[in-house]
Structures are given as structure tokens and as C-alpha cells.
Amino acid sequence: MAYIPLVLLAIIIAWFVAAYNKLVRFRNQIKNAWHQIDVQLKRRYDLIPNLVEVVKDYMAYEQETLTKVIEARGAALSAKGPAAQAKAEGILTETLKSLFAVVENYPELKANKNVASLQEELTGTENKISFARRFYNDSVMTYNNAIQSIPTNFIASMFNFAQEAYFETEPESRTVPKANLR
């Protein structure tokens, strides 16, 4: 009978360690999901200068549009954190939409294989970014649920596990840019 308090103490310690490790695992999953978004965004940022370079010879009178795309890319590259990143990405998406709309006015450009290839890569990258954002937000939801639920909220408050922000897009940027250049 004297060992019952020791068994109860061992069960409480095991539960405490398991709950703490679960919170750490969820927090690390969010970091991983954020890095996946970063990888896809970098790919997108790398494609944009190539697209601008290909189209600028054709679009001699549309320099303002190209300048806006490059500026939006620069702003997106320097944005930090989910909220700032989401806002900058929304602006970049809108400028890309305007670029693709202008490209529609240039039949030779629409027929260019390099432009078609870049368009396909951008569309594929947009899909990957969308998937990565969804995974990130799912990870944030799981983590935030864990740190707000009883009894893990006690452990979360003891070790300063703070809520994470969702990656929310601007309302006007919720549509994927239409990049039909064929």
C-alpha cells in the first residue's frame, strides 16, 4: 500500500512529460509548415524576375506594370511574420494579375514558349503555396487548440507557449491569379 502514492506520482509525471512533449511537437510542426511556405514563396520570387525579363522586350509601353511587379516582389521578400507576409503576398498576387491581363494584349507574347513555361510554373507554384498555407493554418489550429484546452493549458501557461497567428490573406487576394497566356 505504501507504493500507491509513488505510482500516482509516476503517472502524473508521465502525463506531464507527454503533454509537454505534445505541445513542443505541435509548435515545431508550425515552424516546419512556415518554412514550407517560405520555400514555395522563394520559388515564386525566383520565377517572377524571369517572367519580367521575358516579357519586357515585348511590353515596351507597359513598364509601369513591370515596375509594380518588381516592387511588390521586393516588398514580399522583406515582409516578416504571417500578417505582414500575407499582406505583401496579396499585393504581389494583384500585380501579377494585372501583368497577366496586360500580356493578354500581346499575341506574340502569349505564343512565346518561355512565357507559357513560366506561366505553368507559376500556376503550379501558386497551388503549392496554397497547400502549404492550408497545412500551416491546420498546424496552428491544432497547436492553439492544445494550448487552450484543459489540462494542457496549465502546462502551456507554465512554459509560455503562446498562441500562433494564422496566415490570413487579404480579401481581395483570395483568388488565384489567372495566368492563361496561351
Q: Which residue has the cell 509548435?
A: 27
Residue 9 has pLDDT above 50, yes or no: yes
**Burial class of residue 176, CB neighbours in 10 A (0-12, 13-18, 19+):** middle
List, for residues 161-180, the tens digit of each pLDDT value.
999 988 887 665 555 445 44
Contact 51/126 with Cβ under 8 angstroms? no
16-30, 40-54, 140-154: least confidently modelled range: 40-54
Contact 181/116 with Cβ under 8 angstroms? yes
Q: What is the mean pLDDT of the chain?
A: 85
Q: In Å, how far are 32, 93, 126 from 174, measured between CA atoms?
A: 24, 9, 12
pTM of the model: 0.77
List, for residues 45-65, the tens digit of each pLDDT value.
998 888 888 887 777 667 888
Question: What is the rounded CA–CA span in Å between residue 101 and residue 39?
Answer: 27
Residue 22: count of CB within 10 angstroms of its CB? 15
Residue closest to 122 by CA, chosen among 37, 180, 38: 180
Query: How many helices and strands in the chain, by DSSP H and E?
Result: 6, 0
Name the pLDDT band for 181 (thresholds 50, 70, 90): very low
What's residue 170's pLDDT? 63
What's residue 175's pLDDT? 52
* C-alpha radius of gyration, the chain, whole number: 23
Q: How many residues does the chain have?
A: 182
Name the pLDDT band for 36 (thresholds 50, 70, 90): very high
What's residue 10's pLDDT? 94
List, for residues 89-108, the tens digit of each pLDDT value.
888 888 888 888 887 788 87
